Amino acid sequence: MEKTSITIKGLEFPCYELDTVIVGSGAASLNCADHLVSFGHTDIAIVTEKIGGGTSNNTGSDKQTYYKLSVSGKEPDSPYDMAESLYNGGSMHGDLALIEATMSAQEFFHLAQIGVQFPHNAFGGFVGYKTDHDPRQRATSAGPWTSSQMFQRLYDEVKKKNVRIFDEYDVVALLADGERAVGLIALDKSKLDDETFGLCFFRADNIVFGVGGPGGLYKTSVYPLVQIGAIGLALEVGAVARNLTESQYGLASTKFRWNVSGTYTSRYCRAISAPTGTAATNANS
Ligand SMILES: Cc1cc2nc3c(=O)[nH]c(=O)nc-3n(C[C@H](O)[C@H](O)[C@H](O)COP(=O)(O)OP(=O)(O)OC[C@H]3O[C@@H](n4cnc5c(N)ncnc54)[C@H](O)[C@@H]3O)c2cc1C
């Protein structure tokens, strides 16, 4: 990473130039950073509004299901079958469904290897349960603790690998050159009172946008207050949206942010509505 500067009207603003910037520090972003370093890409940095913020580490859901290929017992499963289950929900691009299904076992075992504890039986098999619209027992979790453990263990890995983290930086704009994102503008929150207002620039060949779900869209939401979301920044520079999260309506408390998961709420509690926002599939809560 190289640090240069940009001068605007006599004021000097820091500009960081590097190969890859990952925005956000939830499980998705941390996993990406962990893998990039393992694959030999070291000129990377995470720019995040808050380490420990976001949904992965904070959400309140009774299940917080991790959905993957069935890997235990005698029930057969295949990536194609799983992709069909994801696709049949009606809001998922088929190719992405197949990629998610194909990679799901690999990524699950990666999490297990770095210390995320998933429920297992006496034979070491990672047992699962059925979740919404799920024809197999692909779902697993030990409640929201699993999601928080994913954050914690991945954060440990990223620290071990010395990934540079710009913590408490709000990304406020993406910079695009034609169809390609080439950089971003952020506010360093420790410098908001300086004459530069903490404004700084990042120039990168690759930008990974892991800013979480759309909790901030809703007036009333069970998304944790620490989640602001930033999908709009990508849409603003012309990104085409695929697999935007569904909205799920169900029984939820908002003062103590907690929701009762999908099947129960959607079958029996359709009348009660507090948007809970789920991940990319409908087979996950
Ligand atoms: C109640 C509830 C129940 C759910 N149940 C399930 C379930 O059962 N199964 C399932 O798969 N999913 C479930 N989800 C969804 C799932 O939890 C999220 O999709 C997932 O945790 C998102 O992870 P992430 O890493 O993409 O984002 P997050 O963990 O939200 O991280 C986003 C990161 O981006 C940062 N950020 C945001 N804006 C900016 C910005 N402008 N600049 C810099 N950084 C920024 C945040 O600080 C944070 O670090 C549920 C969600 C909720 C709220």
pLDDT single digits (tens) 224-244: 777 778 888 999 999 988 877
User: Does residue 276 have a pLDDT over 60?
Assistant: no
Query: Residue 22 Cα, ligand 1 centroid: separation in angstroms?
Result: 15
Best of 56, 200, 220 for a ligand 1 pocket test (most atoms within 8 Å of beta carbon): 56
Q: Return the pLDDT at 261.
A: 64
pLDDT single digits (tens) 96-145: 999 999 999 999 999 999 999 999 999 999 999 888 778 889 999 988 89
- State phi, psi for 177 to the nearest 5 degrees: -120, 100
Going by alpha carbons, the residue nearest to atom 35 of ligand 1 is 24
Residue 198 in contact with ligand 1 by CB distance below 6 A: no
Distances (CA, A) of 99 to 19, 37, 142, 225: 25, 21, 25, 31
Q: What is the CATH classification number for the domain harbouring 1? A: 3.50.50.60
Query: Residue 196 Cα, ligand 1 centroid: separation in angstroms?
Result: 30
pLDDT single digits (tens) 164-212: 999 999 999 999 999 899 999 999 999 999 999 999 999 999 999 999 8
- State phi, psi for 220 to the nearest 5 degrees: -120, 125
Evaluate whether residue 95 is within a structural domain.
Answer: no
Going by alpha carbons, the residue nearest to atom 3 of ligand 1 is 61
Evaluate whether residue 213 is within a structural domain.
Answer: yes
Query: Residue 9 Cα, ligand 1 centroid: separation in angstroms?
Result: 38
| Ordered alpha helix ranges (H), 141-192 | 144-160
Q: Indicate the pairing of strand 44-48 with strand 252-253.
A: unpaired
**Which atom number of ligand 1 is nearest to the Cα of residue 57?**
29
Q: Indicate the pairing of strand 180-188 with strand 169-177.
A: antiparallel
- Domain carrying residue 210: 1-61+144-218+228-241
Query: Residue 124 Cα, ligand 1 centroid: separation in angstroms?
Result: 30
**Which atom number of ligand 1 is nearest to the Cα of residue 50?**
47
Query: Element (H or E) spanning 87, and its range?
Result: helix 79-88
The token pair that represents 84 in the structure block = 């069909």
What's the domain count of the chain?
1
Evaluate whether residue 274 is within a structural domain.
Answer: no
Evaluate whether residue 169 is within a structural domain.
Answer: yes
